[in-house]
């Protein structure tokens, strides 16, 4: 029942500002550690090997810390898992874009800039909406389903392994001159750890929106995505909401002609479609919560019987 209770606690509490304004969030600490490694090790020759060694050390440290924290008992496990899940904070950030967009496009741009890495200065309202919906789909996988999956598989060691890897990928796993070699291991390991959760997230979205019959199309469009994993929840969300996602967008002042996902869907989404994406997040979360309860109950029953 540990995952079930952690999910409930995260949904109820989220990330309280009174706490994280006083002490650094674990994700912040992970980021500082990775930034330190990037600063001191991503230099000179053999950057690929240095990156592999760095990711290996981070992974082993996460596993060891997770095993140590597990010794504190189930209450500590529930609290730590709840802190490292991100359902409520994701919902709040995505909903904030819809609320801001209802005020003005400029407000919407500023809100969506908090959750996406693309250029936002020239976005119109549909582009802001697409960015928010895509972020909702991708971060449902990265911030909720994948952490829950690896916690279920490996307890706190599995959860911390996933979080340090995902954080490293977000910081150094980029195809830039500085990070293409040093961040290669982080990016590839993150791809591996998200392989199952991304597809599971797509399945959850499709199952809760009666679009499982569109699975062949979801699979095809997911494979056209620039990411081996992010395309799955995005393609499922596009079908669930009947909106066209992805498409051309700018990064660092350069337009990139990415293909449309579900191109026959609406290309002019707005705040209502973002609201629907938020509802989709809760539907997928609810189904996951039910599965966590069923698994936990089965485990308790097995312990009682045997």
The pLDDT tens digits along the chain (306 residues) read 899 999 999 999 998 888 888 899 999 999 999 999 999 999 989 999 999 999 999 999 999 999 999 999 999 999 999 999 999 999 999 999 999 999 999 999 999 999 998 888 889 999 999 999 999 999 999 999 999 999 999 999 999 999 999 999 999 998 899 999 999 999 999 999 999 999 999 999 999 999 999 999 999 999 988 888 999 999 999 999 999 998 887 787 777 778 899 999 999 999 999 999 999 999 999 999 999 999 988 888 878 877
Rounded CA gap, 94 and 122, in Å? 19
Q: What is the predicted pLDDT for the residue at 298? A: 87
Q: Which residues contact 52 (CB under 8 A, 6 or more apart)?
A: 184, 185
Kind of pairing between the strands at 249-251 and 260-261:
unpaired
Can you say how many angstroms the Cα of residue 21 is from the centroid of all Cα atoms in its chain? 23
Tens-place pLDDT, residues 287-304: 999 999 999 888 888 788
Q: What is the predicted pLDDT for the residue at 258? A: 84
Rounded CA gap, 234 and 264, in Å? 15
Give the residues across from 251 on adjacent strands.
254
Any idea what the Cα angle at residue 156 is, between residues 155 and 161, rounded to 5°?
Answer: 105
Q: What is the predicted pLDDT for the residue at 19? A: 86
Whole-model pTM: value is 0.95
Rounded to 5 degrees, what are φ and ψ at 219? -60, -45
Q: DSSP strand E in 137-251: where?
A: 245-246, 249-251
Q: What is the predicted pLDDT for the residue at 257? A: 77
Q: What is the predicted pLDDT for the residue at 214? A: 95
Q: DSSP strand E in the chain: where?
A: 245-246, 249-251, 254-256, 260-261
Q: What is the predicted pLDDT for the residue at 287? A: 97
Question: Is 117 in a helix, a strand, or coil?
Answer: coil
240, 245, 246, 251: CA torsion to nearest 10:
-120
Assigned token pair, 12: 């109820």
Q: What is the predicted pLDDT for the residue at 277? A: 98
Assigned token pair, 193: 């750890």
Question: Is 243 in a helix, a strand, or coil?
Answer: strand
Cβ(9)–Cβ(78) under 8 Å?
Answer: yes
| 142 DSSP assignment | I
Q: What is the predicted pLDDT for the residue at 118? A: 85
Rounded CA gap, 118 and 199, in Å? 24
Cβ(260)–Cβ(245) under 8 Å?
Answer: yes
Rounded to 5 degrees, what are φ and ψ at 256? -125, 130
């Amino acid at each position: 029942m540990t995952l079930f209770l952690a999910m409930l606690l995260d949904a109820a509490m989220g990330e309280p500002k009174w706490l994280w304004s006083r002490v650094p969030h674990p994700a912040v600490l992970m980021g500082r550690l990775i930034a330190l490694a990037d600063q001191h090790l991503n230099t000179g020759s053999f950057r690929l090997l240095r990156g592999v060694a760095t990711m290996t050390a981070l992974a082993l440290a996460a596993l060891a810390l997770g095993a140590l924290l597990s010794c504190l008992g189930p209450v500590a496990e529930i609290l730590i898992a709840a802190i490292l899940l991100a359902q409520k904070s994701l919902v709040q950030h995505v909903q904030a874009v819809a609320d801001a967009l209802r005020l003005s496009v400029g407000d919407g741009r500023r809100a969506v800039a908090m959750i996406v890495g693309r250029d936002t200065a020239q976005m119109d309202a549909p582009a802001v909406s697409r960015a928010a919906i895509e972020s909702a789909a991708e971060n449902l996988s990265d911030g909720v389903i994948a952490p829950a999956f690896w916690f279920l598989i490996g307890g706190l060691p599995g959860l911390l392994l996933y979080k340090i890897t995902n954080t490293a990928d977000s910081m150094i796993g980029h195809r830039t001159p500085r990070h293409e070699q040093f961040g290669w291991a982080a990016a590839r390991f993150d791809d591996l750890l998200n392989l199952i959760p991304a597809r599971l997230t797509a399945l959850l979205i499709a199952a809760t929106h009666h679009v499982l019959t569109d699975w062949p199309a979801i699979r095809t469009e997911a494979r056209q995505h620039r990411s081996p994993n992010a395309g799955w929840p995005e393609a499922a969300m596009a079908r669930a909401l009947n909106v066209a996602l992805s498409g051309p967008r700018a990064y660092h002042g350069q337009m990139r002609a990415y293909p449309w996902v579900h191109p026959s869907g609406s290309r002019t989404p707005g705040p209502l479609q973002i609201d629907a994406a938020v509802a989709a997040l809760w539907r997928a979360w609810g189904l996951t919560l039910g599965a966590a309860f069923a698994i936990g109950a089965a485990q308790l029953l097995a312990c009682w019987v045997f």
